Amino acid sequence: MQNLDRLKARIIDEAKARASQILAQADEKVRETLLEAKRNGERRAKEIENAATRAREEQMRRGRIGLALEERNAILRVKGDMIDAVLAEIPERLGKLPDDTYLDLASAMILSASPSGDVEIVPSPRDRSRITPEFLLCVENKLKAAGLSARFSMAREDADTSGGFILRMPNVEVDCSLEALRDLYRQELEPLVAQELFGGGDGLPE
């Protein structure tokens, strides 16, 4: 459980680190979107003034509602893009961790999968040199202490992923790629990233 907690904490720290960098870049994009929406609203208002009094009032009401919806949707789109940008970079940032820190995460991923029997590791290209026989022996011993017996070997081919590895057993494969790890915790990460980006409010001009 401690390994998984460290794993989650590392992912969240990486997401927060990137979130602060992206926030500044989004402000200008939102301002431009809202300025265009405001211009459209003003143009609509001028067109509405030429209509009959009753029709004008109704159309102006609808125009205000439409403009409010455009502004809200523009903000939501930018927020979603910012959150996606943070999450998209998590695998790459995790892959660049120092070897000792990264191997702690790799060990936690393997232990959480609880493999047993003959287990073939299909590493990403960047992980092949980092996952050493000594590391695998250490993980085997940790599994043994947890009452599981596993014998690891390295596959000849590489996994088609930017980082992490696949655990291949006779009847099942477990995706331990960094992308799969990010996706596994996505629902937990999204509100945390949003809080880091926007705080208690929007954090963006309205």
List, for residues 112-143, the tens digit of each pLDDT value: 999 989 999 999 999 999 999 999 999 999 99
The interaxial angle of helices 99-113 and 53-95, nearest 10 deg, is 100
pLDDT single digits (tens) 75-123: 888 888 888 888 888 888 889 999 999 999 999 999 999 998 999 999 9
CB 119 within 8 Å of CB 169: yes
Instruction: Say whether pLDDT at 173 is over 70.
Output: yes
**Residue 169: count of CB within 10 angstroms of its CB:** 15
Look up residue 167 and give its DSSP letter: E
For the question of whether the overall pTM of this predicted structure is more than 0.75, the answer is no
Instruction: Say whether pLDDT at 34 is over 80.
Output: no
Residue 46 has φ and ψ, to the nearest 5°, of -65, -40
The confidence score (pLDDT) of residue 66 equals 79
**Arithmetic mean of pLDDT over the chain:** 82
Instruction: Classify 132 in phi/psi space as left (phi over 0), alpha (psi -120 to 50) or beta.
Output: beta
The confidence score (pLDDT) of residue 61 equals 77
- Distance CA(145)–CA(107), nearest Å, equals 14
